[in-house]
Amino acid sequence: MPTETVDTLIVGGGLSGIYAAYLLAQRDESFVVLEARERLGGRILSPEHQNFFSDLGPSWYWPEIHPKMAGLIQEQGLKGYRQFENGLGRFQRPNGEVQTVSGYATEPLSWRLQGGMMALITKLCEKIPENAIKLNHPVCHIEKNGAEAHVSVGELEKEPWARFRAKKIILALPPRLTASTILFTPDLPDNLTQAMLKIGTWMAGHAKFTALYEEPFWRQAKLSGQAFSQRGPMGELHDASNNEQGPYGLTGFVGIPAAQRHNQQLLIDAILSQLELIYGKPAAKPTILFYKDWAREQFTATKLDQPPMYEHPLYYPPARQTSFWDGIIHFAGTETATKNGGYLEGALGTAERAVG
């Protein structure tokens, strides 16, 4: 099998990998992005319905505190809009009882992206040569060979189905996933592997739900779409609509642990009953609903990520190292950021750092 040679090889086509590729495309260097899934975006996922894109991964950025995101969105000619928060909120007690409470605007202000967060990935890809992105290419082994590394694509224990060599590798995926699913030869030092395994992948244990409707009946009832529940299954709800036109949406984070989310249909039925309790009868009959359980995604979550993290950790590069093997391998991916780790903003920062 022929081995393709490039200057830089990027493992992962999420925001950090695609932004690294976008930056490299502005230089006279060869590169390739190897993406395990059949799609780009990683944790960014925005399925379309009637030309509206529902974010099942990240939906917000905060221009006041995330300047890289705000700048990139503007530079790419994309449009953001304020999260809809006008009106009263709803609060559900453990016994299911629902009360109306005063609403509030998040601080700092949350913004959504026109066309869904995937619009950013799609836009960046316009500047990346199509043949530099290889989907369905899960990296399974990286081997140091002098001043370069050899990368095998496929499944461990089987013959690789593609091989690459590069002077520089950018690992643009969660470090816990890297340490759990990619073999390195020679072995990585124990302290580095342990540090990688201990970095929790942000939101990997969570599940998100979006229901779309023809009419924003909650807005018509002077409700903002913001709700908190102590009963579940959704713990937190928000309006998920574009401000200008329909379809209109409600979105929520499922508050129960992954181990209790085995039966998807039961869970969706419970979510619809909860929506009806909080917003009335029309809420139980969306025109379409989308559900994504990230804990069940093999290219996002590992066993260690199954209990969801509720506290945002303080992220930093594994064992405080941003590279290893004499600068052949560089960490990117939001969980390796020193600033804004876990967020989209952190992913952009690590791409800039890794590209150099």
- Residues 42-71 as x/- pattern, contact with ligand FAD by CB under 6 A: xxx------------xxxxx----------
User: Binding ligand FAD by CB under 6 A: which of 6, 12, 118, 124?
Assistant: 12
User: Binding ligand FAD by CB under 6 A: which of 21, 203, 212, 283?
Assistant: 203
The yes or no reply on residue 305 touching ligand FAD (CB under 6 A) is: no
Q: With respect to ligand FAD, which residue has the nearer C-beta, 65 or 147?
A: 65
- Report the alpha-carbon distance of residue 302 to residue 21 in Å, rounded: 26
**Nearest-approach distance from CB 177 to ligand FAD, in angstroms:** 5
The yes or no reply on residue 24 touching ligand FAD (CB under 6 A) is: no
Do the Cβ atoms of 171 and 331 come closer than 8 Å?
yes
The yes or no reply on residue 177 touching ligand FAD (CB under 6 A) is: yes
The yes or no reply on residue 15 touching ligand FAD (CB under 6 A) is: yes
* Stretch touching ligand FAD by CB under 6 A, among 24-32, 281-289, 292-300, 320-328: 292-300
What the block records as the tokens of 292 is 């994504």
- Report the alpha-carbon distance of residue 215 to residue 163 in Å, rounded: 52
Match 């989308």 to its residue by tokens. Answer: 290
239 sits in the region (left: phi over 0; alpha: psi -120 to 50; else beta) called beta
In angstroms, what CA-CA distances link 222 with 84, 171, 240, 248? 12, 47, 16, 15
The yes or no reply on residue 196 touching ligand FAD (CB under 6 A) is: no
User: Binding ligand FAD by CB under 6 A: which of 9, 22, 32, 37?
Assistant: 37
One-letter identity of residue 113: L
Using alpha carbons only, give the angle 99, 103, 104 rounded to the nearest 5 degrees. 150
Q: With respect to ligand FAD, which residue has the nearer C-beta, 179 or 182?
A: 182
Find, among 248, 293, 256, the residue nearest to 274 by Cα: 256
Helix, strand, or coil here: 318? helix
Do the Cβ atoms of 271 and 234 come closer than 8 Å?
yes
User: Binding ligand FAD by CB under 6 A: which of 9, 34, 113, 258?
Assistant: 34
- Report the alpha-carbon distance of residue 49 to residue 86 in Å, rounded: 24
**Nearest-approach distance from CB 281 to ligand FAD, in angstroms:** 28
The yes or no reply on residue 299 touching ligand FAD (CB under 6 A) is: yes
Residues that bind ligand FAD (CB under 6 A): 11-17, 34-37, 42-44, 57-61, 138-139, 172-174, 177, 181-182, 202-203, 206, 208, 294, 299-300, 333-334, 342-344, 347
